[in-house]
Structure 1
Amino acid sequence: MGRHDRVRQLKKLSKTIGIYVLGFCLLLGLAGCSANWTELLSEAGQEHEVWNASSDAQNGNLRVVFLDVGQGASQLLISPSGKTMLIDGGNNDQEQVMLDYLEMYGIGRIDVMIGTHPDADHIGGLDRVIDHHDIGAIYMPKIQANTRTFESLLESIQRKGLKVKTAKAGVVPDWDGEVQIQMLAPVKTSDDSNNMSAVLKVTYGKVSFLLTGDAERESEKLMLESGADLQADVLLVGHHGSKSSTSVSFLERVRPQVGVIQVGENSYGHPKEEILNRLAEAGVRVYRNDLQGSIEISTNGEQIEVLTGR
């Protein structure tokens, strides 16, 4: 698919897949859950305009967009007041796609940028974003990679005169006062880049997101042992649905209602059937970039709406 075809497709980010309403725990008699969602299907083909982050049309919503960057990962967050956060930027071949996305959403400044870990499929497009946009703060874990991709990112950071802040458990990025942001990992230093992934919990009102990068079982175990509140309504399924992540104990603690898998055509067999079955058994509704394009989850703090690119 050509770049212009992709942009035209993105501008049709219009199908309402479902609206999930919070607060049915008592009605359903499910003890211990923070929220249960009942699906209200809209009329087939109902269209929604993509809101512009720079306009006054935020309507008090937090928007979390899981960008379709193929076999890679990138999340764009737009706060109720229009603040922006970009977590990862896909692979090297997604640089122009990243710029197109930001243009489509009307974004000229990234208030907070986070490179979860130095793997190319997560940071490959960030250098071009830095080159073409104003950047507020940038966070990365203390782990390096001996790759041209990582070097290119550092060069872009240096040209802009930015200073990298350390991404680790306990860090609270200064973003939007209405939205709680906390890093839950990495808890400890590891030689494994995946297990050094920055993991963020984002909470707005009663709705929470857990964005996990490529964190694997080692990191999940440390987060469980840390006593952090891991419960979240929306889970970015770890490591593109690899069986190295999303352990049973971790999934039981998070108790998500929705899972998003950032995955594209790949030779790894992602997402693994074992993980898909585990999510299904836990009652998690799954959305995937390879099947549904970009996935935008918008919430007013009480309920969410999911829109997909196709």
Structure 2
Amino acid sequence: MYEIDFLPIEETGSTGSKSGDAIAMRFDDNLGRQRVVVIDGGYKNTGDRLVTHIRDYYATTHVDLVISTHPDGDHIRGLTGVLEELTVGELMIHRPHDHHPKFADYSNIEVIDALIGQAEERGVTVTEPVTGLTRFGGILRILGPTADYYEELLAEDLDGERAAAVSKLSEFSLMHKAMDLLSRALDYLPTETLGEGGYTSPRNRTSVVTLLAVDGDRVMFTGDAGIESLERAMDEYDAVVGDPAVAALTLLQAPHHGSRRNLSPTILDRILGKPGEPFGTGFGTAIVSSAAADPKHPSPKVTNALQRRGMSVFATEGRILCYPGRPGWTSATELPPLVEDDD
């Protein structure tokens, strides 16, 4: 038995509505004991909702493992509330201090330091998430990044190459027009226009990629990982799990709230199979953590690309999504094919 909950992030500020990640899950380990894991906590006020959700639906005040995929505010800030209100066994988080002399310039370093300090004060084990780490008898596995790749990306970020990329992303954001997803619905899947050259920041590429293998299912959580990060994670998947054509994913979290800059046809073909030739049964599920009023996420190019490869796609858009389901809850509506022209 397992349940995975994707909580909605609907943070509104001066720059508009923002998406984020806050994921809670429970599952039975190999000895039948309930385990609770949190991956990211959204913004600060999301932490309270995470705590309430775990108490109400998991009937516990203990979290075995918290994973901070990377230190962007829409992923890390809510974890403070989790550590304050619940008992936590282990926190997995990268420590920039140990990997680069200019760590003090790293964005949100004060949040990282405070979270680690908070954990250590409470006797929580603090571990850096690196490729190959496993927990709960192998049920949970870290697919990436490796320690070397993390250091490479941290150096790229702190040595100033990130500024130009962020400037380009901001320019794109200003030109993007907000539009309700369902107003773009089609009754067919259009020809694929998702490109191969997607770029996301080195900070996003440090995101922890996690695999949950439970009850014969395989679930991949991606944070804001980029194409190169996912390629490396799939190298680990191939080595320890097997060819995804045989050991197919059951559920994939679309990286970076469904951004077109974090996926490409080639990496999707590797993870899910080619359009019309999906791996496994061809009835997998993809989840997008996106705010209802976020004008950028998800990209129709991404949601359509996932559907072409046999995935049913769902977006949080203001709702908690529970997979594979919960008694008394109603079925969510999957996204239809969407117009891609102005994406």
TM-score, with structure 1 as normaliser? 0.70
Question: How much has 1:142 moved relative to structure 2?
Answer: 4.0
Shift in alpha-carbon separation, 1:250–1:195, aligned structure 2, 3 A: same
Question: How much has 1:94 moved relative to structure 2?
Answer: 1.6
Instruction: Give 2:55's match in structure 1, choosing from 91, 99, 103.
Output: 103
Shift in alpha-carbon separation, 1:266–1:160, aligned structure 2, 3 A: farther
Question: How much has 1:248 moved relative to structure 2?
Answer: 1.8
Shift in alpha-carbon separation, 1:182–1:72, aligned structure 2, 3 A: same
Task: Give the aligned partner of residue 287 of structure 1.
Answer: 314
Contact kept, 8 Å, 1:297 with 1:307, in 2: the verdict is no
Q: Which amino acid aligns with 2:4?
A: V
CA distance, structure 2, for counterparts of residue 283 and residue 206 of structure 1: 19
Instruction: Give 1:277's match in structure 2, choosing from 282, 301, 304.
Output: 304
Three-state SS of the structure 1 residue aligned to 2:267 is helix
Task: State yes or no: 1:128 paired with 2:81.
Answer: yes
Shift in alpha-carbon separation, 1:113–1:280, aligned structure 2, 3 A: same
Q: Which amino acid aligns with 1:216?
A: G
Question: How much has 1:307 moved relative to structure 2?
Answer: 5.8
Q: Which runs of 5+ in 1 are unaligned?
A: 1-60, 300-305
Task: Give the aligned partner of residue 39 of structure 2.
Answer: 87
Three-state SS of the structure 2 residue aligned to 1:290 is coil
Shift in alpha-carbon separation, 1:218–1:309, aligned structure 2, 3 A: same
Q: Which amino acid aligns with 1:162?
A: V
Question: How much has 1:95 moved relative to structure 2?
Answer: 2.6
Greater CA drift, 119-128 or 263-272: 263-272
Structure 1 moving runs of 4+ over 6 Å: none
Q: What's the CA shift string for 1:61-117, capped at 9, x where partnerless?
A: 111111223321121111123211111111123232222212222220001111111
Q: Which has the larger radius of gyration?
A: 2
Shift in alpha-carbon separation, 1:307–1:170, aligned structure 2, 3 A: farther
Q: What's the CA shift string for 1:163-220, capped at 9, x where partnerless?
A: 41110111112x2x4x622111113222222111111111123211011111111201
Task: Give the aligned partner of residue 239 of structure 1.
Answer: 256
Number of aligned pairs? Answer: 241
Residues 11-22 of structure 1: pairs in structure 2 closer than 5 A: none
Instruction: Give 1:74's match in structure 2, choosing from 19, 22, 27.
Output: 22
Question: How much has 1:263 moved relative to structure 2?
Answer: 1.0
Please give the root-mean-square deviation of Cα atoms over the aligned residues, in Å. 2.5
Contact kept, 8 Å, 1:77 with 1:86, in 2: the verdict is yes
Q: Which runs of 5+ in 2 are unaligned?
A: 11-18, 97-102, 155-201, 273-281, 334-343
Shift in alpha-carbon separation, 1:309–1:95, aligned structure 2, 3 A: farther
Question: How much has 1:138 moved relative to structure 2?
Answer: 1.3
Task: State yes or no: 1:150 paired with 2:112.
Answer: yes
Task: State yes or no: 1:161 paired with 2:123.
Answer: yes
Greater CA drift, 238-247 or 95-104: 95-104
Residues 1-310 of structure 1: pairs in structure 2 closer than 5 A: 61-70=1-10, 71-80=19-28, 81-105=33-57, 106-143=59-96, 145-147=106-108, 148-173=110-135, 175=136, 177=137, 180-187=139-146, 188-189=149-150, 190-191=153-154, 192-226=202-236, 227-228=238-239, 229=241, 231-255=248-272, 257-265=284-292, 267=294, 269-290=296-317, 293-298=319-324
